[in-house]
């Protein structure tokens, strides 16, 4: 029973670590070039899922055109 508790705890900690340590899809160079933060193109700063602006930027590489 003690082993099950230890293994369960380890799995929960590992899953939490995996979900909170994702890599961003943008680079610091992109952020400097466009003078904006990650959340402009991503759903959140910690999430690499792109929003509509991010999808547009991925194709056109022109943030001003995407924000219209």
Q: What is the pLDDT of residue 26?
A: 65
pLDDT tens by residue, the chain, 68 residues: 899 999 999 999 888 877 765 555 667 788 788 888 888 888 887 778 889 998 998 888 888 888 86
The domain ranges of the chain are 25-68
Check if the beta carbon of residue 51 is closer than 8 Å to that of residue 44.
no
Q: In three state form, how does the secondary structure of 9-41 look?
A: HHHHHHHHHHHHCCCCCCCHHHHHHHCCCHHHC
Chain centroid to Cα 61, Å, comes to: 19
Phi, psi of 50 (to 5 degrees): -85, 145
**pLDDT at 30 (0 to 100):** 81
CA 67/CA 15 separation, integer angstroms: 35
């Amino acid at each position: 029973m003690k082993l099950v508790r230890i293994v369960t705890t380890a799995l929960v900690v590992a899953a939490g670590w995996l979900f909170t340590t994702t890599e961003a899809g943008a680079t610091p160079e992109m952020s400097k070039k466009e003078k904006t933060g990650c959340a402009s193109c991503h759903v959140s700063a910690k999430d690499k899922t792109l929003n509509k602006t991010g999808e547009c930027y991925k194709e056109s590489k022109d943030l001003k055109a995407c924000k219209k």
